[in-house]
Amino acid sequence: MPVPPNIPRPTAKRLSYYLRELEAQADLGTKTISSKGLGERLGLTDAQVRKDLACFGQFGHPGVGYGIDELTGQLRRILGMDRQWTAVVVGAGNIGRAIASYGRLADKGFEIIAVLDDDPDVIGLRFGGHEVRPATDLESVVREHDVRIGLVAVPAGAAQRVADNMIAAGVRGVLNFAPVRLAVPDGIAIVSVDLTISLEQLAFKLTLGMPSGEFGT
Amino acid sequence: MPVPPNIPRPTAKRLSYYLRELEAQADLGTKTISSKGLGERLGLTDAQVRKDLACFGQFGHPGVGYGIDELTGQLRRILGMDRQWTAVVVGAGNIGRAIASYGRLADKGFEIIAVLDDDPDVIGLRFGGHEVRPATDLESVVREHDVRIGLVAVPAGAAQRVADNMIAAGVRGVLNFAPVRLAVPDGIAIVSVDLTISLEQLAFKLTLGMPSGEFGT
DNA sequence: AGTTGTGAACTGATTCACAGCC
DNA sequence: GGCTGTGAATCAGTTCACAACT
């Protein structure tokens, strides 16, 4: 079962949540979980869970449920979490520092190769074991370590330029924390996280009294 | 036009992005924008933009487009961005510090009333003008300032407990940065941001070579 | 000509419901 | 009895296409 076929977008979003929940269950020592059980913990129907997982093969056991270790392994493989990912952070402001200091990333297979900034006052400081290097090192860092992922943690005004530089240097995917939409060429993956927008969504739910659906928000 | 009717969920998610883009355009001095223009900048079709906005009334001008100031005002009102929101941050680790120091929030109408933590080594430190207070102050802070929003910036193991405390104290919406799904009672809004999941989604796109759709990811 | 607002058609996702298996 | 996998039915969101307006 080498490459999965065409996956519905909403399914793709839920996969990571399945994995997170399965790992939590594994820590609790549970060995098996049903689509109903998994769905309940995630606010999904049992049918939804089964349909999602069935996209990739049949790893359930009728009458029993899903083996947690087995399914975890499958999901890790599907999501690409069975390999190591290399990443570079540009921007050593508040967000960049928080990322650099966030230990859990390494456990999950994301290795931060370097943290860069162009502010001379910041270069040389250390965060989470990374000494901040000059932004001009970007290209050599990416090339030498074959870095695949770039994290944009600079202010909005610099974000597009930084992303362009990353991509020019060879990065294949960008995680953007700046509050702008970045234009990227075809074939480059992008995901954005915007604190202000998350807060706005929350405020909007509050003003409306919306039902608390979760995913992707 | 007091309360809007039932809004499709995907529309609700896009609203904040419309507002962000409109504000960016306003800064550039543009006065008017068409559904096509707005859609292009956000990776949406013109029809999509019009349908979304039409949910709330008719603020477009045939042959001309949408007045940027006018539409910005409407969206601010719809999203609840015309009022001030009060928030409290619990957890003064990496993420909590980054949030406390993030100046842009105040501009957007989100006022951080206090930053709390239960670690004696951290209490008393200052971040972004906030002195970290003991976590036991939560209830009094929320009651005294009628705080509506709670930001959970603690490790996974403490997140549910902190959220429960916030809600018991009177908070109405929770923005969760911990990598767990929080259970909240009906009527409480919740939005989650999980760095690991964002990175996983990105890695997944990379392994698949998926088209770069954007929203909610 | 350019653009909005909207019903109708279409596309895609979710839920239902049940056969087959443990 | 409990559970999965899946075709069929339903539901929701998007796109189309066009009348109305400037």
Instruction: Tell me the pairing of strands A126-127 and A32-33.
Output: unpaired
User: Would residue A170 be called left, alpha or beta, if left means φ above 0 and alpha means ψ between -120 and 50 degrees?
Assistant: left
Where residue B123 falls among pLDDT bands split at 50, 70, 90? very high
User: Given an 8 Å threshold on Cβ–Cβ distance, is A199 in contact with B110?
Assistant: yes
Q: For residues B172 and B175, what is the distance between their CA atoms, to the nearest angstrom?
A: 10
Question: Which of B16, B187, B203 is closest, CB to CB, to A209?
Answer: B187
In chain B, whose CA is at the least distance from the CA of A209?
B187
Chain C bases under 7 Å from protein CB? 1-7, 12-17, 20-22
Calculate ∠ Cα B65-B71-B74, nearest 5°.
150
Residues A124 and A131: beta-carbon distance below 8 Å: yes
**Helix count (H) and strand count (E) of chain A?**
9, 11
Name the residue in chain B with its Cα closest to that of A215: B216
The one-character DSSP state at A22 is H
pLDDT reported for residue B209: 74
- The closest of B88, B207, B93, B214 to B157, measured between CA atoms, is B93
> Residue A90 is encoded by which pair of tokens?
């540009």
Prediction pTM value: 0.94
Q: Structure tokens of B214?
A: 């954007």
Rounded alpha-carbon distances, angstroms, from residue A131 to A58, A97, A106, A179: 46, 11, 17, 26
Q: Using one digit for the tens of pLDDT, what is the confidence trace for B34-59?
A: 999 999 999 999 999 999 999 999 99
pLDDT of residue A213: 63
Closest CA to B80 of B56, B52, B104, B51: B56
Those residues of chain A that have pLDDT short of 70 are 1-5, 210-217
What's the CA–C1' distance between B42 and D6, in Å?
37
A108 with B200: Cβ contact below 8 A: yes
User: Euclidean distance between the first and final Cα of chain A, in Å?
Assistant: 32
Under 8 Å between Cβ of B216 and A215: yes
Q: Of A178, A173, A168, A177, nearest to A188 (Cα)?
A: A173
Tell if the CB–CB gap between A195 and B95 is shorter than 8 Å: no
B196 contact residues in A (CB cutoff 8 A): 20, 104-105, 108, 110
Distance measured from the CA of protein residue A85 to the C1' of nucleotide C10, in angstroms:
40
Select the residue of A20, A80, A108 nearest B204 (Cβ to Cβ).
A80
Helix axes B9-27, B46-54, angle to 10 degrees: 100
Which residues of chain A have a CB within 8 Å of the CB of B41? Answer: 181
The pLDDT, as a whole number, for residue B2 is 44
Mutation for testing the B interface, residue in A86, A94, A192 having most B CBs under 10 Å: A94
Q: Can you list the alpha helix ranges (DSSP code H) found in chain A?
A: 9-27, 35-42, 46-54, 68-79, 94-100, 104-107, 138-145, 156-169, 195-208
pLDDT of B18 strictly over 90? yes
| Nearest nt to the B57 alpha carbon by C1' | C5
The whole-number Å distance from A216's CA to D18's C1' is 35
Residues A112, A127: Cα–Cα separation, whole Å: 12
% residues pLDDT > 70 (chain A): 94
Separation of alpha carbons B4 and B74, rounded Å:
12
Distance of CA A15 to the CA centre of its chain: 11
Look at residue A3 in the predicted model and tell me its pLDDT: 47
Phi, psi at B136, each rounded to 5°: -65, -10
Chain segment B143-172, per-residue pLDDT in tens: 999 999 999 999 999 999 999 999 999 999
Distance B77 CA to C9 C1' (A): 34
Give A37 CA → D2 C1' in Å.
13
pLDDT at site A211:
62
Average confidence score pLDDT of chain B: 94
Give the pLDDT confidence score for residue A2 in this predicted structure. Answer: 44
CA distance B112 to B99: 9
Predicted confidence (pLDDT) at residue B212 exceeds the cutoff of 70 = no
Listing DSSP states for A44-62 in one string gives: --HHHHHHHHHTT---EET
SS (H, E, C) B63-116: CCEEEHHHHHHHHHHHHCCCCCEEEEEECCCHHHHHHHCCCHHHHCCEEEEEEE
Q: Report pLDDT for B208.
A: 84
Q: Tell me the torsion sign for CA atoms A117, A123, A127, A131.
A: positive
In 3D space, the residue among A149, A170, A168 whose CA is nearest the CA of residue A90 turns out to be A149
| Partner-chain contact A15 B104, CB within 8 Å | no
Residues of chain B found within 8 Å of residue A110, distances taken between Cβ atoms: 196, 199, 203
B152's tokens: 């959970």
Q: Do A204 and B110 touch (CB under 8 A)?
A: no
